[in-house]
Structure 1
């Protein structure tokens, strides 16, 4: 009989490893049993911890911060709403055929009241929606905010949202070198409780490493967690990492960066804080309205330029205007959590445009699950789109530091 490799370890080491394995099994068994017996917290942890990059065992959590009061009524807020309404109405006059079917068709239909207000020039109604942006259904699908999260923040016990924030703090700290990743081979005890860390100290060390503000702005009824003397959120940490990557790829004060599918504008904000010069978002017109409002209310006066306006280095434009941008007009282009969710024809149609406008890089941070969406078909895989389009060289491909299941790729137009 032929035996495979034999590894010899001390009995005390084996007993330690066995005890940790038993502890892990006991934890998961107890969690599963409590979930089956009706424990809401256990069910939430059981259902959602697979989204984390670290085990939640013994995790420390930050104190939640509930939504700030809406800012409707003041002159600055009204001016911001008037501007996004005017820009939206101009896009409806210039808009070509809608993009190919995607999961965003359903999401758009669910925003009926807000879209009606934009189309009708109903500034008060549109303003009420924007003032409560992060506590309403408007934000669904655009970031790590949801109307249901407010109830989770009020929970007397930590929920998956608390753990997700702790995970994000540690993820970013490890990504930029403000914290060391744990190792199961070298220190099992620490590895079993990777979120049992001083979040305030990690947050401060990370901000020092990056050299820019990681807080989440007080706009749109924002909520989040108190850490390091600031209010921060999963999104501001996640997009701070992407802004950090843009800088590593050479983006700076003299650079121009384009973004396809900009969420509600958080990455644009963090890129600006990180020192990126000119920046343009290309997206659906109604999403432009959210982005425009968020960025106008967050950045200094004169920074943001909406569709139809003439001044401002941070442009917020409808998706079809990318085709009118000059060749090699940006240093790099970024897309996060977006191309896979578009209709196939729309997503594939962007690749030649990206190759045309980008001088140096195309940064993609996206999932590759290729889930089937009712009425829209299978989602896309960016690597496959790039291979089919041709004209790009893959410079790097790695797992994303901030989110489970996401792949980070850098392509160079050739």
Structure 2
């Protein structure tokens, strides 16, 4: 049964579509308990999802445990775009600039995680997880002018992380692990004439890549009530091989092989845990993500497409911080409640924003509850993310000069189930 349980979880994590839930296209929603505590869950007791949140804390798992988690994310938002001045191709007269208003098409996704931890002896633990660290999906109306930038964007991602942890004594524990990272990228947009602003046809770029990374973590207990931890996750460079298709408005289809290089950022997690007593504890967490690695999203073709051999898009994102606080209170031996809050700094500059990830500073509020007995744990959580507003300019080839997103939010619901053996 254990093998079937883990295989089912791994398959779900690999096949589920993903949705953005944190700064940039990073994902923090790896379990219902983690969602409930705003992502501040680095020091949980007996939780197999520690493989994702803090590998050094898998030393808190007694015996053997498996866990599956599914989080539903539903993004909503509106925009205003300043459409560029153009020329009427028939009369030659100037069409003045104007404002276009619209909203995203609700395209919900799932963040699915599966985890397994086994205590080898009093000093050593092994764990493995399959969960999304980077993913997003966004969709807008195909006939809108912002479709010159993107009308459908999707990044499916999953990380498989085999991990070894060692407990040196009552105060120190540490872990090191590999990361096998998969990404599948799909971008769809319309190509507009730079003068007439006529839609010349839709394009689709679709590719995938596997790459390797690593992580390391350490925990230190000051005493029975206070603990700190640090987690580092390496940057991962993907060389994407893609298929490019264009469907000209005049008919037919143009195909080409395409490729590009994308570097997913490295990050640092810093956590602090305080136990007030045996029932109540609070976690503080700060995450530094080096989004400056996302300097461009350039796609190169093996042959010229309408006179160009590349689609270039500068990003120049800035590194940023995420802050979170989570509280967990045990009502009894079997029931617990949790609450959390997180704040994400936007890393997207005015000249690097787009409709792939049109998000600003974010605030996430969440609540959750858990039931557990000696063999199993069930947890549920609800969250609401104020995604904030963002201003950004149009890039080369875009039909708009600048855009403003507003009234953006994401609904979050999560459930987890853990079984001990």
| TM bracket, shorter-chain basis | under 0.3
More strand by share: 2
Which one scores higher on RCO, CA 8 angstroms, separation ≥ 6?
2
Tell me the TM-score normalised to structure 1 length.
0.25
